[in-house]
Structure 1
């Protein structure tokens, strides 16, 4: 049997189940798209139709699709080669436009994605084609990327919206499925249409009639997100549910323990907070022991400590704030960004001054910094600095914004047409002895960096 999730994937935006407001927002954006329009950012939990909507949009608008997803190595060079070229060139297939789809855009982290976020920002700024970014967690996107896009929220699909679609699939497959079975599947899917289709597929194997009992005897799609797990821990769910959720989450225990630790600040009672940190500490010890011995059966002890241990400490207090990724990840990302900016600055200065980077760093960097602080606009134009690189010298974001705006205005200013000189008829003069002209040595235009 063919995979039903692919066989019955929506072919048009009109076939997207639920999320009417999101579909209307997408249609309006596509109809009015012009060069310079912001990209759309589809976000929401897995299985709610984000990727299907992007492909359906391209079919509805007769646009060619260029897709980059998490299975690709997200180095800066690859993103620029695959998406960058496509975003600035026209289609060879005859399509009016190309839709650039970047799936799992919130997964740009780690060494494999070095420079990827920066490349995406440049592609968005220079794109001549429509772009859609897809993310499960919008808070996992770099804030610079979020600022450039228009968010489109895909909500969990209500069970009553799923049932008609499941009924259509049963009709097309010649399958008799009781209303109770369809309702049971829809309610068990947790807002995930893909999960509901998979459950129906599993129940239908080897059967022509599916009842409610058949659905319950088949294993349901138990995928979970880290957000489901953390909410369950602080809500005091039963131990068995916590263990099941921790195994269903795709993240490894060393990542899960960081997420849990990063949200312990919601506990207000100092004693409970101390007990929770103690449980996390013990879990972290088990994780370390697992890696040292390469004996992954020990992960179950880490999982029990970080879930059940923290649950007992929290006492079912619940979590009433936004679940956020670990703060240290943001700090690590900031440190990587600063290092990348510094490297880029040194490379540009080295090319400009024709000097080794270590020489610039050790002997001239202080002097260049003073020069940039005194004449930032001229330095930006001569060296080719962007906003982050200028802030490397100024450490003043407001001043950087002012300088970059001045540069943008200067680039947009129309060049004045050269006035045609007025011809004046010369009056004859008495002849004078010829003056011997001295030849002057031609000289190139001076720059700020001639003294280096």
Structure 2
């Protein structure tokens, strides 16, 4: 067993750093009630978010029910696993169940269709505590952020990591040079899990660990695109930029889009113009690379765009957050809308018994007019969500309001006893009606027409 798992904290007082976040979690759990918002723990990987959630559950004698990004988190799966768990008691004798959804910012694509909406519905009906975990808080849907309470985990400082590494060395019987532990803590970049993995890799088969042994145990993580973009705008040395671009997993065309999407951080227009000129020149090399399949040209593209944008930025750094390319957001929105539209066509084709092509070409406009006139009725009949209803009425706020009100009415109907539905009147059976009513008008056959019986 690797040391990161072996020495995972079992209690909150064993978690390294982030004392304010730990205190916020404990106070939330201590006074928990169904009216409290779920927590959402966010921050970079490896700084103790998931470990803290498990430690909290252990301290509170709660059972943990976890779903992570490796699971298929469709609406049906979430409602079956997390939904049922959130409204039922524990079978193990635990006082409560902690519903833990890891990597909540990775709810995307067709596989997770309806996942975010299902989470919000589960939160509304939950009788058990819920905690979500995310690396990027800003990537979460705003509807999900509105119903949760954020808890930020920050990267650990090297001086907080060293004592924990020293404890592990003592427990494993390894004599560690303080300089070696300090080197590991510095290289970890605030990531406790990475620091423990580096220590484990360097100490295998050794009774004593020296600083020279750390050279073979580097952090198991490549440089990220965020580090590269930040280094470009911070004015790092040319050699450092060319080394970093070789370490990131992204290809030069992707790096170019990231740099283009963040040129707004350059305040003056002349400098920004020089940055665009460098990107345009690099784009020529990228185009020739794909045209001729001669990938040696990539190194010229890298040099032109990195050094050119760095010169234009002048070492002034990034003011605010490094954002993904805006075109990606537009492409993602278009892709999501296309998936919603395709799913809606399939459902309407099944309900109305109309081929999808005919529905799309001839009937969708007419159906849209009907839905526009009585949106609530068709939300119930077709089972529409807010995105699907918006395709008909092209009004997002109204679509969200109508779907929300329809869901509320449906819940109230379910709570009402069957005998009281429809005004409380129950139909009498037909056999209870009088058979012969002298006052009832009976229509006979027309004059001159005989009956067959």
- Asked if 1:63 is matched to 2:59, the reply is no
Compared CA separation, residues 353 and 240, structure 1 to 2 (3 A): same
After superposition, residues 213-232 of structure 1 pair within 5 angstroms as 214-215=213-214, 217-218=215-216, 220-221=218-219, 223-232=222-231
* SS at structure 2 position matched to 1:89: helix
Alpha-carbon shift at residue 297 of structure 1 (Å): 5.4
User: Which stretch shifts more, 10-19 or 228-237?
Assistant: 10-19
Shift, 1:184, TM fit: 3.7
Deviation at 1:405, TM superposition (A): 4.3
1:88 aligns with 2:83: yes
Distance apart, 1:78 and its partner CA? 5.7
1:203 Cα deviation after fit: 4.1
Give unmatched runs, 5+ long, in structure 2: 427-435, 445-453
CA contact (8 A) 2:74 2:112 kept: yes
- Structure 1 contact 66–98 (Cα < 8 Å) conserved: no
Q: Match of 1:372?
A: 371
Structure 1 residues 252 and 106: alpha-carbon distance in aligned structure 2, compared to 1, 3 A threshold: farther
Matched residue of 1:389: which SS? helix
Bigger mean CA deviation after superposition, 220-229 or 40-49: 220-229
User: Shift of the alpha carbon at 1:355?
Assistant: 2.0
127-136 or 231-240, which deviates more: 127-136
TM-fit CA distance, 1:247:
3.3
2:440 to 416, 435, 443: 435
Separation in 1, partners of 2:374, 2:256:
49
Equivalent residue, structure 2, for 1:41 = 40
Whether contact under 8 Å (1:87, 1:98) holds in the other structure is no
Please report how far the alpha carbon of residue 392 of structure 1 lies from its aligned counterpart in structure 2 after TM superposition. 1.6
Alignment of 1:32-431 (within 5 A): 38-60=37-59, 61-69=61-69, 72=70, 79-80=74-75, 83-90=78-85, 94=92, 96=94, 99-108=98-107, 113-116=109-112, 118-126=114-122, 128=126, 130-205=129-204, 207-212=206-211, 214-215=213-214, 217-218=215-216, 220-221=218-219, 223-291=222-290, 298-413=297-412, 415=416
Which stretch has the larger CA shift, 346-355 or 322-331? Answer: 346-355
Q: What are the superposed Cα offsets for residues 30-59 of structure 1, whole Å, 9 maximum, x if unpaired?
A: 455566865433221222122333443444
Distance 1:88 1:432, change over 3 A: closer
Give the length in aligned residue pairs: 420
Aligned mates of 1:58, 1:291 — CA distance in 2: 53
CA deviation after TM superposition for structure 1 residue 231, in Å: 1.4
In 2: Cα distance, 1:387 partner to 1:420 partner: 34
Cα shift at 1:118: 2.9
Q: What's the offset of the Cα at 1:285? A: 4.2
CA distance in structure 2 between the partners assigned to 1:68 and 1:30 by the alignment:
22
Please give the root-mean-square deviation of Cα atoms over the aligned residues, in Å: 3.5
Match of 1:4 in 2: 3
Q: Is the 8 A contact 1:175 1:208 kept in 2?
A: yes
User: Cα offset for 1:333?
Assistant: 1.6
In the TM superposition, what whole-angstrom CA distance separates every residue of 1:368-387 from its partner, at most 9, and x where no partner exists?
22222222222222222222
Secondary structure at the residue paired with 2:190?
coil
Residue equivalent to 2:23: 24
Three-state SS of the structure 1 residue aligned to 2:392 is helix
SS of equivalent residue, structure 2 residue 151: strand
Compute the displacement of 1:322 (Å).
1.6
Matched residues in 2 for 1:180 and 1:106: separation? 38
Secondary structure in 2 aligned to 1:319?
A: coil
Moved more, 222-231 or 33-42: 33-42
Shift of 1:87: 1.0
Matched residue SS, 1:201: helix
Is the 2:258–2:324 contact (alpha carbons within 8 Å) kept by the matching residues of 1?
Answer: yes
Write the distance in 2 (CA, Å) between the matches of 1:402 and 1:79: 23
Contact in 2 for aligned 1:68/1:82 (Cα 8 Å)? no
Partner secondary structure for residue 321 of structure 2: coil
